[in-house]
Amino acid sequence: MSYKTIVGLEIHSELMTESKVFCDCKVEFGGDSNTNCCPICLGLPGTLPVLNKRVLEFGIRAGLAFNCNIAKETKMDRKNYFYPDLVKGYQISQYDMPLCEKGYVEIDTEEGTKKVRLIRIHIEEDTGKSIHSNDGGSLLDYNRSGVPLIEIVTEPDINSGEEAQAFLENLKSILKYIEVSDCKMEEGSLRCDVNVNVIDEDKDIKTTVTEVKNLNSFKAVAKAIDYETNRHIALLKAGKDAIRETRRWDDMKNETIVMRVKEGVADYRYFPEPDIVGMEIEDNWIKEIRDNLPELPHIKKDRFVSEYDIPVYDAKVLTATKALADFYEETVKYSKDPKQVSNWIMGDVLRRVKDEDIDIEDLRFTAKDLADLINLINEGKISNNIGKKVLRTMFEEGKDPNTVVKEKGLIQINDEDELNKIVDEVLDKNPQSIEDYNNGKDRALGFLVGQVMKATRGKANPQMVNKMLREKMS
């Protein structure tokens, strides 16, 4: 039997504008409760919302980056529903005339590149936050009320948890490149809801769509989709259908749990927001925004491959974020060895960045420092292994490599006479190893090289030592 999973995503992304969408209150994460809100945020009687033009600009920027059509005319609508964190009793959103339509995001799959189509991107305001205390009480923080959002809705083009994860990673990367959102899931600035159902392709029947809400990581999205796929297949096998319901992912139990059963489509009684008149978007403005879009990650990736002659894999890793790509290019500028730079960044640098859970922007040394380190190795002034040690000191103390090498006396010993003396001493002390080597035990050579390195505290030129030992023992 053959089953196909069908997934559509709805992504909410908070925009990094300085002020909120309808008032001058600051957009900022954290801060004391209810310190970043005003009568407009709270929709008090007599207040009038004024649309922040930057929000439209950010929405258009996202639309262009995702290949959407930008509306010539658009409007805001009221979405009416009651919830404690929505103090006005309605949310200002967009209904039938969204800012951006169509568009797509490309992902790499085993079968090649796949386009995940977007239905729309619209702008709206965020709600406040309910904080439930241990004693059963609820507190409300309206700092988030009126923070601008874009909602991105996909066609059901995604067919697995893995594809959903790849899609979200590309989407996040682009949103960060164009600097419209910081996409911090842990701070709620990127949120994802998932709609899943399964088709039994032999019988041509499909299950009712289940919605999984409030997923807090891309991994959780992938796991929830895989879990729902299996649940829907089990239902199909039993001749049953899924119920129209909203579920949530439980990270501890590794399963989805029912939140509420949906009773038909909620009636939000949408109507045009009377306090904000219709908006016309001028072609000139769209063109100006398009002209100022930065180079997007997939284009940068292709350019890295052709300009620096590095493998596609390297280019993909290095262009994952704009900051990392900038750091790579800056390092190459000073070192002129693009592949070597890629190896150091993808290896020791990123490993440490990940271990310390920091961003590349937070490094205590500069791109030029890294280039200097690589140059020291290429010029034979320090060995690769010493280079790794120097990098560790650069991470910890933020010193440049020349200073570290000088302070710790790490310059490589390339002097033949000096090395000769040490190699002879090591050979004198290890007659058994010479015999082993001559009996074909290659490990003995490694041991002897190690002894020389130890005697020089890692400073001997390992290639030279290797060659000398072989010559002396033959």
CB of 53 to Zn ion, least distance (A): 16
Q: Which stretch binds Zn ion (CB under 5 A): 33-41, 170-178, 387-395, 461-469?
A: 33-41
Q: Does 51 bind Zn ion (CB under 5 A)?
A: no
Do residues 138 and 84 lie in contact, with contact meaning Cβ atoms separated by under 8 Å? Answer: yes
If the CB atoms of residues 44 and 258 are measured against Zn ion, the closer one turns out to be: 44
Q: Which is nearer to Zn ion, 8 or 148 (CB)?
A: 148
Taking contact as CB under 5 A, which single stretch among the options 39-47, 218-226, 237-245, 405-413 is the one that binds Zn ion?
39-47
C-alpha closest to that of 85 among 32, 154, 53, 37 = 37
Question: 419-444: buried (b, 16+ CB within 10 Å) or exposed (e) per residue?
Answer: beebbeebbeebeebbebbeeeeeeb
CA dist list (Å): 49 to 76, 146, 248, 408, 419: 11, 10, 34, 63, 78
At its nearest, how many Å lie between Zn ion and the CB of residue 274? 19
Residues 69, 101 contacting (CB under 8 angstroms): yes
- The binder of Zn ion chosen from 23, 86, 394, 405 (CB under 5 A): 23
Number of amino acids touching Zn ion (CB under 5 A)? 5
Region near Zn ion per CB under 5 A, out of 18-26, 165-173, 319-327, 465-473: 18-26
Q: How far is the CB of 27 from Zn ion (least distance, A)?
A: 10
Q: Kindly give, in sequence order, each residue whose CB lies less than 8 Å from that of residue 261, ignoring residues fewer than 6 positions away.
A: 243, 244, 245, 246
Q: Which is nearer to Zn ion, 41 or 62 (CB)?
A: 41
Decide: 127 and 83 in contact? Cβ < 8 Å: yes
Min. distance of Cβ 54 from Zn ion in angstroms?
15
User: How far is CA 344 from each of CA 3, 68, 387, rounded to the nearest angstrom?
Assistant: 44, 38, 10
Binding residue for Zn ion, selected from 6, 9, 11, 25, defined by CB under 5 A: 25
Which positions from 276 through 315 interact with Zn ion, judged by CB under 5 A?
none
Per DSSP, the three-state class of 472 is helix
Tokens of 302: 């292709």
Single-letter residue type at 47: T
Q: How far is the CB of 40 from Zn ion (least distance, A)?
A: 5
Encoding tokens for residue 68? 């959407």
- Under the criterion CB under 5 A, does residue 38 sit at the interface with Zn ion? yes
> Is there binding between residue 42 and Zn ion (CB under 5 A)?
no
- Of 35-43, 301-309, 319-327, 356-364, the segment contacting Zn ion by CB under 5 A is 35-43
Would you say 199 and 4 are in contact if contact means Cβ atoms under 8 Å apart? yes
Provide the sign of the torsion angle of the four alpha carbons 212, 215, 217, 220, taken in this order. Answer: negative
- How far apart, in whole angstroms, are the C-alpha atoms of residue 413 and residue 415? 6
Q: How far is the CB of 75 from Zn ion (least distance, A)?
A: 22
What is the dihedral angle through the alpha carbons of 328, 333, 335, 336, rounded to the nearest 10 degrees? 100
**Residue 41 or 158 having the CB closest to Zn ion:** 41
Residues 435-454 that bind Zn ion (CB under 5 A): none
Looking at beta carbons only, is 32 or 73 nearer to Zn ion?
32
**Smallest distance, Zn ion to C-beta of residue 42, A:** 8
Which has the closest alpha carbon to 14: 166, 176, 173?
176
Q: Give the tokens for residue 230.
A: 């299996």
Q: Are 193 and 9 in contact (CB under 8 A)?
A: yes
Using CB under 5 A as the binding rule, whether residue 15 contacts Zn ion is answered as no
The window from 23-31, 310-318, 369-377, 408-416 that contacts Zn ion (CB under 5 A) reads 23-31
- Closest to Zn ion by CB, 40 vs 236, is 40
Q: Between residues 25 and 209, which has the closer beta carbon with respect to Zn ion?
A: 25
The minimum distance between CB 145 and Zn ion, in angstroms, equals 8
Nearer to Zn ion, 146 or 338 (CB): 146
Question: How far from 317 is each of 23, 92, 245, 310, 327, CA to CA, in Å?
Answer: 40, 39, 39, 11, 12
Alpha-carbon gap, residue 370 to 294, rounded angstroms:
26
* Closest to Zn ion by CB, 92 or 152: 92
Residue 213: CB minimum distance to Zn ion, A:
27
Stretch that binds Zn ion, among 41-49, 50-58, 167-175, 227-235 (CB under 5 A): 41-49
Q: How far is CA 117 from CA 62, 101, 167, 205, 347, in A?
A: 14, 10, 11, 24, 35
Is the Cβ–Cβ distance between 16 and 180 less than 8 Å?
yes
Q: What's the closest the beta carbon of residue 318 comes to Zn ion, in angstroms?
A: 41
Least Å from the CB of residue 143 to Zn ion: 10
For residue 98, the minimal CB distance to Zn ion (Å) is: 24
Residue 333 burial (CB count, 10 A): 12
In the list 16, 41, 92, 212, the residue contacting Zn ion (rule: CB under 5 A) is: 41
Binding site for Zn ion (CB under 5 A): 23, 25, 38, 40-41
